[in-house]
Amino acid sequence: MTSQQWIRNATEVLESVRHAAEDFQGATTLSRAKTAIRNFLEQARSVTWALEHLKSQLPDDEWEAWWSEVMADLRADPVSQWFYQLRNPIVKEGQPVDIRTVAHMQGPFNLPPPEETRPDGAEGWILDSNFNAFWVMPDGSRQAASPIEGVRRWNTLDGIPDELLTRPLHELMNQHIRNLEKVVAATSARFGAEQ
């Protein structure tokens, strides 16, 4: 294959990465969301694999120096590194994709909200780990309370590094895509291929 064909292939694979991210965000079932994540991880790695075939176009030392420079941002980015490290356990080793919901409070709030009416007999008011509000009844059961304003919820993956936990998974996916776009653009510019 020619340089242009490898770059075109990488560009098409990058489009598959975008599709997988869109599929995740629009997934209507947990199963579809998990499939989208697996596809995202597999296709994202295939972008750089396709470009690595261009190694034969340059002397080894020139390729290594150039490729290291092109990949520097991708390798330095904690988001891209996490996706890169996640690929083998999930795609090759069959580790399950464990999607979970994260909730964060944003802004001021009152607990319980001032307009919340206490049910007869309620002994207290609590929030669970996802900031869902409940009244605690005398028998220990819970009765749903009004949702707390200022709670932002999103999906992420179990085991995500703490520094990435404050951002929704779809945002992290888009950041990784932008990093891959830079690699494809730099390769295209170096080898004179049309995008």
Structure tokens belonging to residue 174: 């888009």
Task: Give the per-residue pLDDT at 183.
Answer: 96
Q: Please indicate, yes or no, if residue 140 is contained in any of the structural domains.
A: no
Q: Please indicate, yes or no, if residue 129 is contained in any of the structural domains.
A: no
Task: Give the per-residue pLDDT at 57.
Answer: 87
Higher pLDDT, 26 or 146: 26
Task: Give the per-residue pLDDT at 52.
Answer: 93
Residue 87: closest CA among 35, 135, 124, 39? 39
Q: Write the burial class of residue 183 (CB in 10 Å: 0-12 exposed, 13-18 middle, 19+ buried).
A: buried
Residue 97 in contact with residue 155, Cβ under 8 Å?
Answer: no
Structure tokens belonging to residue 52: 């690595």
Q: Please indicate, yes or no, if residue 68 is contained in any of the structural domains.
A: yes
Q: Please indicate, yes or no, if residue 117 is contained in any of the structural domains.
A: no
Give the chain's domain count. Answer: 1
Task: Give the per-residue pLDDT at 112.
Answer: 67
We report the CATH number of the domain holding residue 11 as 1.20.120
pLDDT in tens, 143-182: 888 777 777 777 888 888 989 988 899 999 999 999 999 9
C-alpha span between 19 and 41 (Å, rounded)? 12
Task: Give the per-residue pLDDT at 149.
Answer: 73
Q: Domain range for residue 14?
A: 3-100+162-191
Q: Please indicate, yes or no, if residue 152 is contained in any of the structural domains.
A: no
pLDDT in tens, 45-67: 999 999 999 998 888 999 999 99
Residue 61 in contact with residue 67, Cβ under 8 Å?
Answer: no
Q: Is the pLDDT of residue 194 over 50?
A: no
Q: Please indicate, yes or no, if residue 50 is contained in any of the structural domains.
A: yes
pLDDT in tens, 77-120: 999 999 999 999 998 888 899 888 776 666 666 666 667 788 88
